[in-house]
Structure 1
Amino acid sequence: MLCKYCAGFSLKLLREGNYNHQPSLEHLQSSALNGCGGCDILYRAIGETITGNTDRKTGHVWFGQANRTHATPALVENNAWVDLRYMGSARTLYLAADEGSHASRFVNYRVVDPDPTSATTYRRLKGWIHDCVASHPKCRHKALRLLPTRVLDVSLPGSEFNKLRIYTSCGAEEGDYVALSYCWGNANPVTTTRANLESHKRGILEASLPKTIRDAISVTRDLGIRFLWVDALCIIQDSLNGEDWHAESSKMRDVYSNAYVTISAETAIDANAGFLAHRSSEGTNRGFMLPYLSVNGSEHGSVYLQQKPADRNRCLSYRAWAFQERRLSTRVLDYQAGQISLTCRTGMIEESSAELVKGGSVIIYQEGSRPLHLSVPTSGGKERYRNVFLEWYTGIENYSRRDLTYESDKLPAISGYAQAVQEVIRGTYWVGIWKEDLLVGLLWSASSTRNRLRKPSPRGCPSWSWAALDGAVDYHSLWIRYGNPRQESGLELKLIEDHVEPLAVDSIGQVIGGNLRVSGYMKKVTCLPVGWGVAWERQDIFTSSDVENWDPLGDFIGDDQRPSTSTDCTGRPFAICMFDTDGIRPKDIWCLAVVSTKGLVLEYLAEKKVYQRVGFFMFSDPTWMSKCPVSTITIV
């Protein structure tokens, strides 16, 4: 049932000007409650933008053309958008057509099938993947695609085996397989152990597996692929001394980059949740039906005015392991709340769209090699890989904000990504930092918008690595991108010697320890409370961009300039500091310049005659440090 306003609405009227709908928001809500399907859709759309103070009794609800560069005046070609407005609030809706309809030749957006397992849905998914494999040069594998050590044989119809089982490859066996990226959460999925490995090779009862893994099996079968890689089943979870886990986790780069496609279970909060539920939300409602008018004015079926499908509950954006799983994959099928999308190295396409949006993903890609999407300039010199390093630093900021079940996984969970970057820059990787960009790599700090970092149980990481502590870190990306952090100022720290000891097989995963022997300008300092002296004149010391939204924990003054009493503090601080962790401040604090205006705060460990990092500092006047003696020290 439609009210008179919905029944009378057409694109022809909209082309002639704005279209007044219900006389008020209250009337729109009442009409929706009385059964008007159009008003129900419109009320739910505009209602999300209305505050509690909005007058709901006056002012028309009306339609107008959306102010978008890709909206066409006739609203019957390609990307057509419409603004639904009420008293200053607006919600943009779009026109969608059914796949294969007359209107679909002119309207690029599609009505999303509420059933993610329907034949129509799988036809689209297969078509996307086929087009990607066949026609995207950036997405083609030139290297051999070897099967991982173990995969789950999902027993396709007509295969030799008619039940699930763990299949062990011979080590040099090629084949297509699907990889799963998902959250274990609080669920305890069935796993492969030393005790049940042989049993799992003979067969696994599908009903015993958690819903997310069963859904992945279903998708793999419907895509016509025989093998599926799932960490819980394809890695021996209780191997002696974790040998199998260490060996297999060091291969994550190959597992995900060689996969035919990676399934990203975005909405599954744990292994039991699943991701193939019927999509009955507003995101997949067919919407407000309108007669479709062709360019010459004749009617050709219908189009639907609807909201963009919901994109929420992206659980994997909080999971640390998923960071590299996504970046290493050639193509990713994202199962979101409102629709499915495919992201590859070339671009992205959604169920609600008929066209690939060019631009590629955050997946790393290097032409003629394994997948890397980083821009690698051909010029030489120190700035050659600046974009690569910038991508790394912004990636670490993202990664450090994600959750790990086991903090000991901090380096292994990013080692595959590090391997991919290493192939591009041909560099040396030390516990999250690149030797070729050491000075910038050392200059991380605790995030100013999060809690201070925490010291975890010992895991061997040196204090100078961001991986030594738990919590969000910042790399001051704008400074790296738009400043010149590698400029010559005479204060640059010099590396004398290094020693980093890996734990085992994965030389860029877990470590036992590491130290740096460096030479640089160094000063012993006193840390004073924030705001000491006559005034907190931060703007006079640093530019506003340097300190905007920054939350320092103390000010520094050199010991050679320490006032005799607190009341003698009439000067301004020479530097501001952010300590890495909360708690008792060290007695002996030293500043070590790393680049022209930034450096490390160190604590001296007298018994070992070495230093450890305790914070990060910034200063404005290079002469404050340049007058200091140059010291050669060891940082652990």
Structure 2
Amino acid sequence: MTLCKTCSSLVLEELWNADFVLHENLQALIHSAESGCTFCNLCWVQIQRERTWDVDLCLAGSCNGMGGKTIVDPTIYLQAHWQMPNSEQNVPSRLWISCGPLPNSSAEGLTSQGLSTSLCIFADPGTPAESLFEERYITVDHNPNGHIAWTQRALDFCQRNHKVCEHASRSAPRQMPTRIIDVGPVSSPTSPPTQPPRLVLAKDLPSPEPYTALSYCWGQGVGDKLELRRHTLATLLTHMPLASLTRTHQDAIRFTRALGIRYLWIDALCILQGDPADWARESKRMGSVYGGAYLTIIASRASDSADGFLANSYRTASQNLIPAPCPLPCGASPLARAGPALGTVYVTAPRSTAGGPVDARGWCFQESLLAHRAISFGTEQLLYSCRTAKRYEDGDRSLVVSGSSFRRLAGPDPGPRGEVLRSWYAMLQNFSPRALTEPHDVFACIASLALVAHRVLRCRYLAGLWEADIPRGLVWRSQFRYFLPIKTAVVRPRASGFRMGEGKGEVVRRAPSWSWASVQGPVVWPAAVLRGEVGVDLFVRPREAGGWTVDDGVGEPDALYMPWLELRMWARPVRVRRGGRTTGEYAAALSVAGRKEWKAAHTKYGMLLEGFESGGVVAVGYFDVLGEEEPENMWCLRIVKREGILLTRDEQEKFHRIGWLAVLEEERWFGRVGEQAVDLV
């Protein structure tokens, strides 16, 4: 390691909450970095990665400061901040780099320029600084086995300090999954196993035991390796050769052993593959499987089970070379400012908190929500999460505000009826963009969450919506680019090719047209629905005394398949046609006040809908799936005051949803149409 004259004399103790001049300006920092100084190079690389300011202005010695002021202070400062051990506050230890002093600088007469970035500080296990700096750096070339001690420390802290988590553990199911992997007795984390892993039946164990559960992406790896099938069951009950398992399965076994836990649940090895009856039975038990696990292991960084997840190689695998951690001497404790030296700590570039490929998979969504405690092996670092807090390997942390999040839905207290409905729609918005290998699994993926919601709602569960709130549930919207610059397109579900009678890639029906599950891709609900505003202005009502449907045998919260379901209602559909004007032309003809109100609905994807016979604007409509053939007949159905759905009608007089709409001139049209029977399929 090569250091310039200034950096060779750096001691972290001197940087605590005090501006330290590193270089006279940015040019000097760059020159030092290009001359080979390891620390200056790390600072300059981070400045370029962050790009939170105009580097050209800083190089010119003039930066736009806060409040619009122009401040000339090109000096490059360092200032360190330290996180108290065992704190739940989101103030990790960081070393700040700034052009000009930071806002809390003691320097007088200068205003913060806001041109700053930071480096992470961490300590190695076994060093004097270990107990004062909880931040760690765990990669294949630095502390490669650190994930074991880090996870155990996070678990211990949670068990000692989190009352909510303790309550969740006590209320968790006191039963084990039907089948479980015995990873073998381990006397200590460093001791070799005394026996190979094997599959056991929970009913044969004298009492329930703590176990871990794995959440991961299957990829192609599972199909190429050993899995539980009828013809392998007898073998797996005697032994489970590690070499025959995927790397992810091997990693999960090793990690469970290292934590001193004897049992592990993995779907491919604990559910009979190719057995529809066993799959249906076990998939309905996911709530108890993940909810009852002592710890859920999330292999977030692996897109395929053949890859494994324990080894963190993000720095070596990065396309952009990330500088290695730089050692930095540390004097006394930041609190004491005296006493024995803490030895060497390290500084390094910040790491992403992104999870990885698992975050895009449908099955993994429910698994992460149901877990009381989870350790996620993210793309660049570890994350420990529980019902109380999130804690990252680099010291970043935050409290979990469960009451304002859809995550509360899977907790021990999902909340009152209104809160459960709000949580349900918020949950669906987060679930819908996720990918499914088998599109027909859409309801199975959230069946355990539906069971939790049903305990409060106590009504029928109809194709992903709740009968007690059907009108608001119907006004979902396909999330095109007019909401956010998203990459996931909204399409019709397509066959995986695994189900008999379906050709791979052909469009399949997995839900009624009125259900959000009739499309694949991100969907959203209007803000008023998410806020839980239950308006009295509903313009549809059930036609049957027993509810919205007369179909027998439907409505169970753990239903796995609901491709056909008819809603029967009284409503006022208005037949429409595509208008002759564009939405832009319509907006231009409005008054100033009208244009302001229109702004929320006016997008390039919308189309004006006019009365079929007499013309005149009814609504602006949007197709659920862009590019589909426009039907010969279209109908507007108003659901709530300003929201509705776009329909077409078939030869049997049944209505099918094809899109959604924003009502524009409601009284002119919907107030004059008589109520009639509507069958929505």
Normalising TM by the smaller chain, what interval? 0.7 to 0.9
Check 1:346–1:577 CA distance in 2 against 1; reply closer, same or farther (3 A cut): same
2:432 to 395, 400, 410: 400
* Preserved CA contact (<8 Å) 1:500 1:513: no
Q: Where does residue 257 of structure 1 map in the other structure?
A: 291
Q: Where does residue 174 of structure 2 map in the other structure?
A: 145
Q: CA RMSD in A?
A: 3.7
Query: 1:394 corresponds to which letter in structure 2?
Result: A
Residues 101-120 of structure 1 show CA distances to partners (whole Å, capped at 9, x for unaligned) of 66666x56523344698665
Residues 75-95 of structure 1 show CA distances to partners (whole Å, capped at 9, x for unaligned) of xx9855443135975312354
Check 1:488–1:70 CA distance in 2 against 1; reply closer, same or farther (3 A cut): farther
Q: Where does residue 454 of structure 1 map in the other structure?
A: 492
Distance (Å, rounded) in 1 between the aligned partners of 2:396 and 2:17: 28
CA shift at 1:270, angstroms?
Answer: 0.8
Check 1:360–1:191 CA distance in 2 against 1; reply closer, same or farther (3 A cut): same
Residues 296-350 of structure 1 show CA distances to partners (whole Å, capped at 9, x for unaligned) of 5425325544443333461111111111000111111111233322111121223
Residues 44-89 of structure 1 show CA distances to partners (whole Å, capped at 9, x for unaligned) of 21121349984796555612559x9999xxxxx9855443135975
1:178 to 212, 216, 236: 212
1:290-369 residue pairs with structure 2 within 5 A?
290-292=330-332, 294-295=334-335, 297-298=337-338, 300-302=341-343, 303-312=345-354, 314-353=356-395, 357=399, 359=401, 364-365=407-408
1:602 to 624, 628, 647: 647
Check 1:527–1:285 CA distance in 2 against 1; reply closer, same or farther (3 A cut): same
1:557 to 607, 610, 613: 610
CA shift at 1:17, angstroms?
Answer: 5.8
TM-score (normalised: structure 2)? 0.79
Distance (Å, rounded) in 1 between the aligned partners of 2:601 and 2:133: 43
Distance (Å, rounded) in 1 between the aligned partners of 2:396 and 2:653: 65
Distance (Å, rounded) in 1 between the aligned partners of 2:642 and 2:360: 33
1:409 aligns with 2:450: no
Q: Where does residue 48 of structure 1 map in the other structure?
A: 49
Q: Where does residue 566 of structure 1 map in the other structure?
A: none
CA shift at 1:222, angstroms?
Answer: 0.8
Distance (Å, rounded) in 1 between the aligned partners of 2:606 and 2:398: 48
Distance (Å, rounded) in 2 between the aligned partners of 1:186 and 1:324: 22
Distance (Å, rounded) in 1 between the aligned partners of 2:17 and 2:510: 70
* Preserved CA contact (<8 Å) 1:347 1:360: no
Q: Where does residue 441 of structure 1 map in the other structure?
A: 473
2:536 to 478, 484, 488: 488
1:448-597 residue pairs with structure 2 within 5 A?
448-449=480-481, 451-454=489-492, 456=494, 457-476=507-526, 478-482=527-531, 484=533, 486-489=534-537, 491-494=539-542, 496=544, 497-499=548-550, 507-528=558-579, 531=582, 535-537=586-588, 547=600, 550-562=603-615, 573-581=617-625, 582-597=627-642
Instruction: Tell me whether 124-133 or 94-103 shows the greater mean CA deviation.
Output: 94-103
Q: Where does residue 110 of structure 1 map in the other structure?
A: 135
Query: 1:596 corresponds to which letter in structure 2?
Result: K
Query: 1:164 corresponds to which letter in structure 2?
Result: P
SS state at 2:475 partner: coil
Query: 1:471 corresponds to which letter in structure 2?
Result: G
SS state at 2:272 partner: coil
Instruction: Structure 2: state its 5+ residue gaps.
Output: 62-73, 85-89, 101-113, 316-321, 482-487, 495-506
SS state at 2:235 partner: helix
Distance (Å, rounded) in 1 between the aligned partners of 2:280 and 2:517: 18
1:236 aligns with 2:272: yes
Distance (Å, rounded) in 1 between the aligned partners of 2:437 and 2:510: 18
Query: 1:168 corresponds to which letter in structure 2?
Result: L
Residues 527-549 of structure 1 show CA distances to partners (whole Å, capped at 9, x for unaligned) of 22661695434786575587268
Q: Where does residue 76 of structure 2 map in the other structure?
A: 62
CA shift at 1:191, angstroms?
Answer: 1.9
Instruction: Tell me whether 85-94 or 184-193 shows the greater mean CA deviation.
Output: 85-94
Residues 341-372 of structure 1 show CA distances to partners (whole Å, capped at 9, x for unaligned) of 21111212233339874546967458xxx834
CA shift at 1:267, angstroms?
Answer: 0.6
* Preserved CA contact (<8 Å) 1:329 1:363: no
Distance (Å, rounded) in 2 between the aligned partners of 1:161 and 1:294: 46
Distance (Å, rounded) in 2 between the aligned partners of 1:483 and 1:343: 28
Larger strand percent:
1
1:28-47 residue pairs with structure 2 within 5 A?
28-32=29-33, 34-47=35-48
Q: Where does residue 212 of structure 1 map in the other structure?
A: 248
Check 1:290–1:620 CA distance in 2 against 1; reply closer, same or farther (3 A cut): farther
1:427 to 459, 469, 474: 459
2:226 to 169, 178, 190: 190
* Preserved CA contact (<8 Å) 1:448 1:551: no
Query: 1:147 corresponds to which letter in structure 2?
Result: M
* Preserved CA contact (<8 Å) 1:602 1:614: yes
CA shift at 1:162, angstroms?
Answer: 1.5
SS state at 1:511 partner: coil
TM-score (normalised: structure 1)? 0.84
Distance (Å, rounded) in 2 between the aligned partners of 1:24 and 1:225: 54
CA shift at 1:269, angstroms?
Answer: 1.4
Distance (Å, rounded) in 1 between the aligned partners of 2:454 and 2:313: 41
SS state at 1:4 partner: coil
SS state at 2:480 partner: coil
CA shift at 1:133, angstroms?
Answer: 3.8
Q: Where does residue 3 of structure 1 map in the other structure?
A: 4
Identity %, equivalent residues: 25
Distance (Å, rounded) in 1 between the aligned partners of 2:7 and 2:143: 32
Check 1:12–1:224 CA distance in 2 against 1; reply closer, same or farther (3 A cut): closer
Q: Where does residue 125 of structure 1 map in the other structure?
A: 151
Distance (Å, rounded) in 2 between the aligned partners of 1:169 and 1:12: 55
* Preserved CA contact (<8 Å) 2:587 2:598: no
Instruction: Tell me whether 531-540 or 589-598 shows the greater mean CA deviation.
Output: 531-540
Distance (Å, rounded) in 1 between the aligned partners of 2:583 and 2:392: 56
Q: Where does residue 96 of structure 2 map in the other structure?
A: 83
Residues 239-285 of structure 1 show CA distances to partners (whole Å, capped at 9, x for unaligned) of 2xx22212211211111111111001111111011111155736983
Distance (Å, rounded) in 1 between the aligned partners of 2:14 and 2:516: 60
How many residue pairs align between the two structures?
A: 604
1:224 aligns with 2:249: no
* Preserved CA contact (<8 Å) 1:578 1:617: yes
Instruction: Tell me whether 147-156 or 492-501 shows the greater mean CA deviation.
Output: 492-501
Check 1:350–1:425 CA distance in 2 against 1; reply closer, same or farther (3 A cut): same
Instruction: Structure 1: state its 5+ residue gaps.
Output: 72-76, 378-384, 563-570
SS state at 2:212 partner: strand
Q: Where does residue 679 of structure 2 map in the other structure?
A: 634
Check 1:200–1:104 CA distance in 2 against 1; reply closer, same or farther (3 A cut): closer
Check 1:356–1:119 CA distance in 2 against 1; reply closer, same or farther (3 A cut): farther
Check 1:157–1:390 CA distance in 2 against 1; reply closer, same or farther (3 A cut): same
Instruction: Tell me whether 278-287 or 133-142 shows the greater mean CA deviation.
Output: 278-287
Distance (Å, rounded) in 1 between the aligned partners of 2:237 and 2:581: 63
SS state at 2:342 partner: strand
